[in-house]
């Protein structure tokens, strides 16, 4: 509250006392305002279940608990509740399609005799299932092709040569040692299980076979080339749907020709197709230009795909 400047005292001592009095009044007013703000914040943001003293009320209602409890009991009514099912706790049963190996635990023959001298009779059994793991193992698939020749004419009268042999089977990597099963294991471990090739190299070494990571990388490149028709089918499926979701994220590629190791590259993802059969395709590109999805959707495929 401002004071009347026309009635200010002339002496310095009285002026000093007036200033101190005004300062005390302002500080008390500020304290009251802070308390009001704290109280309002408590009512707005505090716990709503707590009771508080209303304005003009001197004390909380300390003796209303019995009355409130009694009134609530009087007003209680029976309300029907629909039955519900509860989930049974415990471990889920093991899948029935897994092979079972029975290990029988029987009593010794001397314990199958009762104290009365009679032989015990089997009345039942108790079965408990344990989940076992069979470590991965490598095997060699031998492709044997028989040769045939004519010992009568020794191939003189034959137009196709003296020796005939069955044609070799079609392979993903010609003249390679990797079967489709081994290639699938390597690619699934890398792209689905995030297992780098150098770690897979150590895993194969523990199994007794040496497969360098460079060899596995070359295998992955061959598989990528073989999967190009499949990528075109997936692209057609995605574009056949009502809409296509597209997004990209940054990746870092080392030793990329013409680019620094610190340069940002991008992995694009395309999701679409029929609502009940959605398809996903990962597409690498050095940039995040808007021409990338246009090129992927409407132009001839020239990029690199990853599933």
Q: Choose the final residue of a domain: 225, 253, 285.
A: 225
187 against 157, higher pLDDT: 187
Percent of the chain past pLDDT 90, that is, above it, reads 40
Same domain, 168 and 236: no
Same domain, 218 and 233: no
Q: Choose the final residue of a domain: 176, 206, 225.
A: 225
Same domain, 157 and 172: yes
Instruction: Provide the whole-model pTM.
Output: 0.59
**Mean pLDDT of the 144-169 span:** 81
Q: How confident is the model over 225-239, as pLDDT tens digits?
A: 998 898 889 999 999
Same domain, 259 and 302: yes
- Is 3 within a domain? no
- Is 39 within a domain? no
Same domain, 216 and 238: no
Query: Which residues, 6+ apart, have CB-to-CB distance to 59 below 8 Å?
Result: 53
Q: Choose the final residue of a domain: 225, 253, 270.
A: 225
Rounded distance between C-alpha atoms, residue 293 and residue 283, angstroms = 10
Same domain, 238 and 196: no
- Is 124 within a domain? no
- Is 43 within a domain? no
- Is 123 within a domain? no
On whether the CB atoms of residues 201 and 213 are closer than 8 A, the answer is yes
Print the SS3 string covering 7-74.
HCCCCHHHHHHHHHHHHHHHHHHHHHHHHHHHHHHHHHHCCCCCCCCCCCCCCCCCCCHHHHHHHHHH
On whether the CB atoms of residues 134 and 101 are closer than 8 A, the answer is no
State how far Cα 44 lies from the chain centre.
40
**Mean pLDDT of the 22-41 span:** 88
Structural domain of 185: 147-225
Same domain, 211 and 250: no
pLDDT of 193 higher than 80: yes
- Is 250 within a domain? yes
Query: Which residues, 6+ apart, have CB-to-CB distance to 17 below 8 Å?
Result: none
Same domain, 192 and 243: no
301 against 18, higher pLDDT: 18
Domain total of the chain: 2
Residue listed under structure tokens 């050095």: 286
Is residue 279 very low, low, confident or very high in pLDDT (cuts 50, 70, 90)?
Answer: very high
pLDDT of 69 higher than 70: no
- Is 152 within a domain? yes
Same domain, 253 and 300: yes
Same domain, 210 and 242: no
Is residue 301 very low, low, confident or very high in pLDDT (cuts 50, 70, 90)?
Answer: very low
- Is 53 within a domain? no
Same domain, 206 and 253: no
pLDDT of 31 higher than 50: yes
Q: What mean pLDDT, rounded, does the chain reach?
A: 83
Same domain, 278 and 237: yes
Percent of the chain past pLDDT 70, that is, above it, reads 82
């Amino acid at each position: 509250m401002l004071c009347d400047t026309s009635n200010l005292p002339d002496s310095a001592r009285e002026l000093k006392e007036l200033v101190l009095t005004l300062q005390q009044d302002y500080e008390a007013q500020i304290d009251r305002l802070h308390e009001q703000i704290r109280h309002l914040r408590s009512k707005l943001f505090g716990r709503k279940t707590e009771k508080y003293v209303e304005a003009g009320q001197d004390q909380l209602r300390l003796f209303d608990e019995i009355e409130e409890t009694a009134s609530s009991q009087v007003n209680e009514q029976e309300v029907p509740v629909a039955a519900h099912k509860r989930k049974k706790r415990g471990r889920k049963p093991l899948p029935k399609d897994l092979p079972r190996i029975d290990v029988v635990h029987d009593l010794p023959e001397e314990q199958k005799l009762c104290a009365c001298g009679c032989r015990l009779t089997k009345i039942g059994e108790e079965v408990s299932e344990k989940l076992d793991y069979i470590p991965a193992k490598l095997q060699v698939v031998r492709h044997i092709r028989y040769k045939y020749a004519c010992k009568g004419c020794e191939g003189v009268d034959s137009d196709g040569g003296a020796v005939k042999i069955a044609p070799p089977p079609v392979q993903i990597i010609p003249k390679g040692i990797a079967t489709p099963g081994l290639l699938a294991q390597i690619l699934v471990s890398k792209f689905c299980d995030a297992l780098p090739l150098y770690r897979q190299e150590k895993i194969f070494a523990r199994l007794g076979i040496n497969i360098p990571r460079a060899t596995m990388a070359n295998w992955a490149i061959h598989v990528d080339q073989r999967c190009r028709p499949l990528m075109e089918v997936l692209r057609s499926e995605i574009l056949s749907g009502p809409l296509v979701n597209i997004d990209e994220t940054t990746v870092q590629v080392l030793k990329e020709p013409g680019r620094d190791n610190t340069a940002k590259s991008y992995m694009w993802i395309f999701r679409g197709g029929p609502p009940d059969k959605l398809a996903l395709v990962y597409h690498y590109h050095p940039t995040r230009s808007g021409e990338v999805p246009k090129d992927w959707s409407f132009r001839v495929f020239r990029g690199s795909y990853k599933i």
